[in-house]
Structure formats: C-alpha cells, structure tokens
A = this chain, B = another copy of it.
Amino acid sequence: MTEFFRPSGRAPAQLRGIHITRRYTKHAEGSVLVECGDTKVICTASVAEKVPFHVKGSGAGWLTAEYGMLPRATHTRGDREAARGKQSGRTQEIQRLIGRSLRAAVDLAKLGERTIHIDCDVIQADGGTRTASITGAWVAVHDAVEWLIKEGRLPETVMRDHVAAVSVGIYKGVPVLDLDYAEDSDCDTDMNVVMTGSDGIIEVQGTAEGEPFSRTELDDLLDLAQAGIEQLIHEQRQALQS
C-alpha cells in the first residue's frame, strides 16, 4: 500500500480539515457554517411554535429538515430547484436523512408542541454535503435549544446526545474516510454513517457503485467511520466552547 495515494493526499483514515462557525447569520435561533475541506454548508435551526398535524395534541414536538444547493455550488451549474418547480429525488432523500438523524438527537417528547426547522444550504460542494449537513445541523439545533432555555421556554436541555455523520468508501480497493468529490466520483462503494456520541448507530447507508462489497469490507468501513465520527464530535464539543 506504499504506492496508494488519495487524490487529496490524505491518509486513508484522515478526515478533511473541519471548521464550525456558530452564529453565522443573525436571524436564526441556531446558525452554523460548517466547512469540511472545501465543502461548505450553512445550517440553520428555526423554532416555530406549532407542530405538524400528525403530532398535534400529543404534547410532543417535531423536527424536520430541508436541504438545498446553490446552483453554482458545484463544478458545473445545476438547475435551481425552485425554478424547475420540484425537488429532485436526491434532495428529498438527503433532507429525509438529515431529519431522521437529528430527531434521534433530540428528546421530542420534552420539546413541547413546537417544531425545529433545519435548513442546510450548500454554498460550495466538494463531496460529503449530506454528512457535513448533519454534523453542522447538530450544532445549530443545540444552539436553538439553548436559545429556548434562555428565553424561558424550556426548563432544561432536550438534547439527548451528540450526532455526527461521515462518509466512507472503498477507493481503488482501499477503505478510506471522508471522501471528497474526486474520490467519491471514482469510488466502488460509498457509505454514509450517522452515529451518536456514545457510539450508537443512527443510520448506515452503504451502496455498491460498481462491484458488490463483502462483509469484511463493510466491517472495515464501519471501523473507519466510527473513528471519524469520534473526531467530528470532538470538533462539535470544541465549537460549543467558542
């Protein structure tokens, strides 16, 4: 493996540089710019004092997410989904994943009849936008919950645990952590993993792009992901100090 080089020059188990900026925009209750290498996502958490129909009357709250990409976040300009009049299947899949992942981070029963709306908007894309969105959105949700406590609307935190996400894949036969765009485009297997601060698994989504993968490869990928997520959660903790 001495001759193995990732396009990024990183070691197989090496994350990209991550930077989390809190209070990035001024209106949202939680607002974060998350940067994973060249991938940059604005994650906001907005509090609304109402809940969707399906939880109304239950006393519990709700959390939902939307995801978008600026048309020129990518190498070539993509269609603006608002202009085309509908969100792609990919967009819907991603925002459903973000919502599920963050609902696992919050004790909705104690949130009260209110909704936290997460918006993840990619302003620059270089692979891993959905996992960066989850990692950043966790901080935005945390800040929105802190705001609710400061406002006297919640007696104590409703955050159950950290939640962060990373992608892993098999690149030229080698399991690698945190794929950037160049690696992702040329990858046999791509897996997104979402985990908690106590090594609980929230979501595993692995897809063989070309050849099927084996149980052994799956195990290697999960090991890499777990180590990466531990570092990401460390970054989240650092950001909360700021």
Interface residue SS majority, chain A:
mixed
Most interface-central of A82, A93, A95, A213 (chain B CB within 10 A): A82
Q: Is the CB of B85 within 8 A of A86?
A: yes
Tell me, yes or no, whether A112 is within 8 Å of chain B by CB: no
Copies of this chain present in the complex amount to 6
Task: Give chain B residues whose Cβ lies under 8 Å from the Cβ of A40.
Answer: 25
Nearest Cβ distance between residue A52 and chain B, in whole angstroms? 14
Complexed CA–CA distance, A211 and B198 (Å): 12
Contact (A82, B86) CB under 8 Å given A119-B70, A204-B205, A212-B201: yes
A206: chain B residues within 8 A (beta carbon): 201, 203-205
CA distance A202 to B82 in the complex (A): 28
In the complex, which residues of chain B have a beta carbon less than 8 angstroms from the beta carbon of A222? 215, 218
Docked-complex contact B214 and A200, CB < 8 angstroms: yes
The number of chain A residues with a CB under 8 A from chain B is 65
User: Per-residue 0/1 for A39-51: is the Cβ within 8 Å of any B Cβ (1 yes, 0 no)?
Assistant: 0101010101000
Of the candidates B31, B73, B195, which one forms a contact with A72 in the assembled complex, judged by CB atoms under 8 Å apart? B31
Does A21 sit within 8 A of B, measured CB to CB? Answer: no
Give residues 210-234 of A contacting B (CB, 8 Å).
211-215, 218, 222, 226
Q: Is A80 an interface residue when CB atoms closer than 8 A count as contact?
A: yes
Q: What 0/1 readout, one digit per residue, does chain A (172-209) give for beta carbons within 8 Å of chain B?
A: 00000000000000000001000110111111111110
Contact A27 B73 (CB under 8 A): yes
Q: How far is the CA of A104 from the CA of B189 in the complex (A)?
A: 12
* Contact between chains at A87 and B83 (CB < 8 Å): yes
Q: Which residues of B sit under 8 angstroms from A72, Cβ to Cβ?
A: 25, 27-28, 31, 44, 46, 117, 119
User: Once the chains bind, are B70 and A42 in contact (CB under 8 Å)?
Assistant: yes
* Given pairs A27-B125, A68-B70, 7 additional interface contacts (CB within 8 A): A25-B72, A25-B124, A46-B76, A70-B119, A77-B117, A199-B215, A201-B213
Q: Pick 16 A–B contacts, CB within 8 A, sort by A.
A: A25-B70, A25-B123, A26-B38, A42-B123, A48-B77, A66-B71, A66-B83, A68-B82, A70-B121, A71-B119, A77-B119, A82-B91, A195-B212, A200-B211, A202-B207, A205-B206
